[in-house]
Chain A
Amino acid sequence: MTDLAIRTENLGRNFGSLKAVDSLCLEVPRGIIFGFLGPNGAGKTTTIRLLLGLLEPSGGGGQVAGFDIVSQAGLVRTSCGALLEHPGLYERLTAEQNIEFYSRVYCLKNVERASRSKELLTHLGLWERRKERVGEWSKGMKQKLAIARALLHRPQILFLDEPTAGLDPVAAAALRRDLDQFVAYEGVTVFLTTHNLAEAEKLCDRVAVINKGKLLAEGPPGELRSGSSGVKVEIRPVNPVTPDILKIIQARPEVSSIDIQDSCLYLTLNPGAGTAPLVSLLVSLGVEVEEVRKTRLSLEESFLKILEEENK
């Protein structure tokens, strides 16, 4: 068995002249949470559809769980669970009936069906409400049930397409916690798309950034943060910084961008750049520095920077 859960080679999908996914090369190791990030229309959902064998690629190919996504699409779907853009639950049916339907779909034996649904629903706090119709439930509960449904047949890989979208912060945090626990408990590989970069930062072992169908960056979130954008320096001066001084600082090769908020100077430095020479320069220019704070860019800031650089 290969160590990769997902592997694509120049995977592409065109819709007319639009390249929704453009020569995507991706390797996702087993047993991790892999974040797939990108703005709306970047090609995230199309990638999931291609990986699940729901769409045929226009070019390239790939393997999911060791199966070819074109010629063995049925086996790919048998090995994977999915929570797509919508929970996909039958709202006229009860939670128990929804789970039973999908356990029949995945050919679970009667005994396993009962024990597995009890295990999942109990873990997610839904067991007591299993006889209720799903249509009467809140969105957060539906998402939890959809996760239970996706995990029912013990898939090797779980595809989650923006699982916390539309949830209030409390429900989203609860779902994230459940998801994190479940992934650790089940040992499943998760392919997660999200707009919520704080969520990706908390959950994901590796992330990839995609825009206009192209893969822009890939790696652990920490590496992506430092690799793409270096560090951010917050400098609090005692006296105001004049526009002339700002121009001098901006012209320095190690400075990527500069911003002033509430008389505080925020510098984004290029990778490998030091802080000390800039502070010395400011002092020599007559700026009285009260405080210097060096922070790493958040994943969100790195993500925006990667997109910005791509659009240049």
Chain B
Amino acid sequence: MINDILTVIWKELIEFRRLFFETRAGVIGFLAQFVLFGVFLPVQEKEIWAGSLLTVFFISLLSLGLVMVFIADSFAGERERKTLETLLASRLPDRAILFGKILTAVCVSCGMALLILIIGLVSLNIAQWSKEGLILYTPLVFLSSVVLSFLNALFTSSAGVLFSLRASTVRQAQQNLVIGVMILFFIPGLVIPMMPSEWKKILFSFLKGIDPFGALFVAVLVFLVADILLILAAMARFKRARLILD
């Protein structure tokens, strides 16, 4: 099983390279992210960048778009490019295909987060070299960034599997996924203004009282539960007989 998953990852990484690094738009998109989160923000925020929860927020979300594009291309693309049936007719188990594709997205996302964390640290130290000694991330910021990047990539890619398997084209899958994620992010923005003022007060006082460590712990817990549920749903959905009939 592990070998089968690695085989799928091997193929997906080649496809990933072709998709993102051999088109001008892909290269510009990557460079823009590296310049913004690896150079511009660390230099602007100075030493705050190394200890702020904002860094965790940015780093854990920065590869969201990349994962959405990749996962839609990986699943809906197999169907659109007529390679799915041949893949299913091979000896690869369903789960090896599913996890191989998901893990590629997660590895790429975490790798990118780590790389940007390192570039950010280098940029920050170069910019602040004469004023301070060596600046490092606080353990909480570094660990939270990596863990949340992982969980967020897992969440987006598992949700992406479910959206992509319902779509007949890559574009449709990407659109559905973007709309889904937007709804998820806009839910608090829509629900909170509609809440009774008493509820709002309770919510805001709760948010004010929560310590950063507690907030991160809750975020990790929520992502973990959501990830497990989504992966189980993706495993139930990604079955040969069902995929062939789709």
Contacts and interface: CB of A to CB of B under 8 A. Distances in A.
B81 A91 contact: yes
Given A105-B91, A107-B3, A55 B241 contact: yes
Interface in A43-79: 49, 52-56, 74, 77-78
Contacts of B88: 54
B149 to A, nearest CB: 26
A197 to B, nearest CB: 25
Nearest to B85: A84
B82 interface: yes
A88 B87 contact: yes
A74 B82 contact: no
Contacts of B89: 52, 54, 77, 80, 82, 84, 88, 159
A106 B14 contact: no
A89 interface: yes
Interface residues of A, number: 31
Contacts, number: 74
A92 B18 contact: yes
A91 B83 CA distance: 9
Given A55-B244, A92-B15, A101 B7 contact: yes
A77 B94 CA distance: 13
B115 interface: no
Given A55-B244, A77-B90, A86 B10 contact: no
Q: Is the interface of A mostly helix, strand, loop or mixed?
A: loop
B205 interface: no
Nearest to B88: A54
Q: Is the interface of B mostly helix, strand, loop or mixed?
A: helix
Nearest to A89: B83
A127 interface: no
Contacts of A255: none
Contact of A93 (B11, B86, B241, B244): B11
B201 interface: no
B26 interface: no
Contact of A56 (B7, B10, B19, B241): B241
B111 interface: no
A102 B90 contact: yes
Interface string A264-280: 00000000000000000
Interface string A124-164: 00000000000000000000001000000000000100000
5 contacts: A55-B245, A78-B91, A97-B11, A97-B14, A104-B7
Given A54-B89, A93-B18, A106-B91, 8 more contacts: A54-B88, A55-B244, A78-B91, A85-B85, A88-B85, A90-B83, A101-B11, A102-B90
Interface of A: 49, 52-56, 74, 77-78, 80, 82-93, 97, 101-102, 104-107, 146, 159
